[in-house]
């Protein structure tokens, strides 16, 4: 399966980049009506939850309006994580390498390599797409780290935690670079109060990839944001 790349003003727009026609709605958050305490939507539909966790509602209209390069589309990010789709082109990454490993690429200015068990909200990426990204994405030009990964078990979600008493968003505590809280699937108490916006996986069987192995000729110009690639939480 190959998706047609979207462009805007001559720039290729990454798969998980949201467009202006895809701004999240703001349905009221209400107490959950069934299944114990927690948050829900007034007009909740079964598609609003995954693994019993409430997800941010986002329209799906890629290519309509203007791209918001600093953002991440919650649904496409989740699809990319669940199906191992490339965050840049949206195509399947399974089979991209003969050894079956997946490539993960993250913004990093510390020079620290990806560590075993590190969390990522950034979906995998094709090697060819990564080569373009490290040359054309300004975020990544400031520093990046990449790793080949054997296993990517689902770890939890990144989202907005709500205060049970007031049903208002709480100040973030374990916030990643998007200002979202990280909540593991094993933490049922907090999962009930989070509005999820990203699927987060753990990276296992990690092997750092040398810069020279990725940097090559790039033909496509990339967006000035490439935020999807730089949005992964870098700690646990
Ligand atoms: Zn790709």
- pLDDT at position 44 is 95
- Residue 218 inside a domain? The answer is yes
Cα(133) to ligand 1 centroid in Å equals: 10
- Residue 162 inside a domain? The answer is no
Higher pLDDT, 212 or 179: 179
- Residue 141 inside a domain? The answer is yes
Cα(87) to ligand 1 centroid in Å equals: 7
Higher pLDDT, 231 or 124: 124
- Residue 92 inside a domain? The answer is yes
In degrees to the nearest 10, what's the CA dihedral of 106, 112, 116, 118?
-50
For residue 133, the enclosing domain spans 1-18+84-152+204-236
- Residue 177 inside a domain? The answer is no
Cα(109) to ligand 1 centroid in Å equals: 23
What pTM does this model have? 0.87
| Whether residue 24 has pLDDT greater than 60 | yes
Cα(134) to ligand 1 centroid in Å equals: 13
Cα(39) to ligand 1 centroid in Å equals: 36
- Residue 146 inside a domain? The answer is yes
Provide the pLDDT confidence category of residue 220 given band limits of 50, 70 and 90.
very low
Spell out the residues 6+ positions from residue 218 whose beta carbon is closer than 8 angstroms to its own.
Answer: 131, 132, 135, 136
| Whether residue 236 has pLDDT greater than 70 | no
Tokens of 10: 């001559």
Cα(7) to ligand 1 centroid in Å equals: 14
Cα(211) to ligand 1 centroid in Å equals: 18
- Residue 1 inside a domain? The answer is yes
- Residue 229 inside a domain? The answer is yes
- pLDDT at position 229 is 52
Helix (H, G, I), strand (E, B) or coil at 182: strand
Provide the pLDDT confidence category of residue 180 given band limits of 50, 70 and 90.
very high
Instruction: List residues, by chain if needed, whose CB lies under 5 Å from ion ligand 1.
Output: 86, 88-89, 126, 129
Q: Which candidate, 52, 44, 29, places its Cα nearest to that of 167?
A: 29
Cα(157) to ligand 1 centroid in Å equals: 23
Cα(48) to ligand 1 centroid in Å equals: 28
Cα(124) to ligand 1 centroid in Å equals: 9
Cα(119) to ligand 1 centroid in Å equals: 21
Tokens of 114: 């990806």
Higher pLDDT, 45 or 215: 45
Instruction: Give the chain's end-to-end CA distance (angstroms, integer).
Output: 33
| Whether residue 190 has pLDDT greater than 50 | yes
Higher pLDDT, 35 or 174: 35
Residues 99-108: tens digit of each pLDDT: 999 999 988 8
| Whether residue 168 has pLDDT greater than 80 | yes
Q: Structural domain tally of the chain?
A: 1
């Amino acid at each position: 399966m190959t998706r047609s790349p979207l462009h805007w003003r001559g720039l290729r727009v990454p798969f998980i980049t949201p467009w202006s026609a895809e701004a999240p709605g703001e349905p009221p958050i209400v107490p959950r009506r069934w299944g114990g305490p927690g948050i829900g939507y007034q007009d909740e539909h079964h598609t609003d939850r995954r693994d019993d966790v409430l997800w941010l509602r986002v329209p799906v209209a890629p290519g309509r309006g203007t791209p918001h390069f600093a953002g991440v589309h919650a649904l496409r990010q989740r699809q990319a994580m669940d199906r191992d789709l490339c965050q840049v082109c949206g195509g399947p990454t399974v089979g991209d390498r003969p050894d079956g490993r997946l490539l993960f690429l993250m913004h990093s200015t510390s020079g620290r390599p990806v560590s075993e068990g590190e969390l990522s909200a950034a979906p995998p990426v094709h090697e060819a797409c990564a080569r373009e990204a490290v040359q054309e994405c300004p975020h990544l030009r400031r520093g990046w780290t990449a790793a080949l990964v054997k296993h990517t078990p689902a770890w939890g979600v990144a989202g907005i935690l709500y205060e049970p008493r007031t049903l208002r968003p709480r100040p973030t505590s374990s916030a990643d670079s998007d200002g979202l809280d990280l909540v593991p699937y094993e933490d049922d108490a907090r999962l009930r109060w989070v509005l999820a916006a990203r699927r987060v996986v753990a990276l296992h069987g990690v092997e750092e990839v040398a810069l020279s192995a990725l940097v090559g000729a790039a033909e496509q110009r990339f967006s000035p944001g490439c935020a999807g690639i730089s949005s992964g939480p870098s700690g646990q």
